[in-house]
Amino acid sequence: MSRARVRQVALLETRTAYEQYATTLPWSAGPMPGWESDKQLHSTYVSAKPDSPGYTEEQAAEVSRFQAELRRLSIEVVTHPYWQSLAGPDLVEARMVLRHAHESTEDEAA
């Protein structure tokens, strides 16, 4: 597996882990009061949010860690020397193949 592919797979795995972690967090990073909107015209839907206690220090540190790792991996993927050897349609095709690198990894694991 090429180094660019390894980094792309790591980027996708880190992004997935971050998104899963984010679902456990309060809706607001800082303490915020909840709210409820008015009923929408031609609908019975009323949007609302409960009070948010904000992130704990540990949650904020974990979010920062994930974001730093995502930036680092993104930079490594985008600036990999391999991309300098391609141009035009070949570059587009190679980037599309790399975007789907995690799919072949999943197939190999199955």
Give how far Cα 13 sits from Cα of 16, 42, 63, 77, Å: 5, 42, 15, 14
How does pLDDT run across 55-110, given as a tens digit for each residue?
999 999 999 999 999 999 999 988 888 778 888 888 888 778 877 766 765 556 55
Instruction: Please state the pTM of the whole predicted model.
Output: 0.75
Q: At 40, list the tokens.
A: 């929408």
CB 11 within 8 A of CB 77: yes
The length of the chain is 110
